[in-house]
Structure formats: structure tokens, C-alpha cells
Amino acid sequence: MDATTNPAFIIFASLSPLLIAFVKQSGFSRQVNSIIALACYILVGIAGVLVSGEELSWENAVSLIAIATVVGSASYALVWNNLGANEDGDPSLEERLTASTSLVKG
């Protein structure tokens, strides 16, 4: 099966923002946390290449890194950034995960 259309990889990429929430730090700026998220998406793409059995090369990794970034960013914007948040100012599930697992507090 083509790794770029593998449903398991797409599902994992859509769940990756929750894993990224464990790595991000509430004491870091938005820019630093964005770089952390991008680095995590690169790792997810590389993991996708390794799990698919393809040869680890730039040609194989770039497409999966792009797919992981697009799918993960879309699921973050549509679901994980909104789940649990409300008009009263309660933080989303992703924000609560980041705050509770941060070593660097803001």
C-alpha cells in the first residue's frame, strides 16, 4: 500500500497534535512551540517512511512530512484546539495537556 494513502498513517497524523502537546512547553513563545510542532511533524513523516517499509530517502520522506503537517495542522485547527474550550475562557484539551506536562512553565 502506498504510504501516502495509508489510513493508519493519516489517523496517526491527525492524532499527532495531542502527542505534540506533550512536547510543547507553556513557558516558550508561540514561535518556539511552532518550531517544536514542525520538528515533531518531520519525525512523524520519517516514522511513516520507516513503518511503510520504504527506503529512507528525501524523496520518500518529503511527501509524508508534508502530509503529516497538513493533516496534523488541519486536525489541530478543527478539533484539538476547540475540544473542551468554551466562551467562558476555558482552555482546550490541547492547551491543558501542554500546561500539565510542561517542564518550563509560563
Taking residue 11's Cβ as centre, other Cβ atoms within 10 Å add up to 12
For 32-88, the pLDDT digits (tens) are 999 999 999 999 999 999 998 888 899 889 999 999 999 999 999 999 888 888 888
What's 92's DSSP letter? Answer: P
Which residue in this structure is represented by grid cell 511552532?
Answer: 34
CB burial of 65-84 (b: ≥16 within 10 Å; e: otherwise) equals: bebbbebbbebbeebbeeee
Per-residue pLDDT band for 4 (boundaries 50, 70, 90) equals: confident
Residues 6 or more apart in contact with residue 91 via CB below 8 angstroms: 84, 85, 99
Please indicate, yes or no, whether the overall pTM of this predicted structure exceeds 0.85. Answer: yes
Sign, CA dihedral 66-70-76-77, equals positive
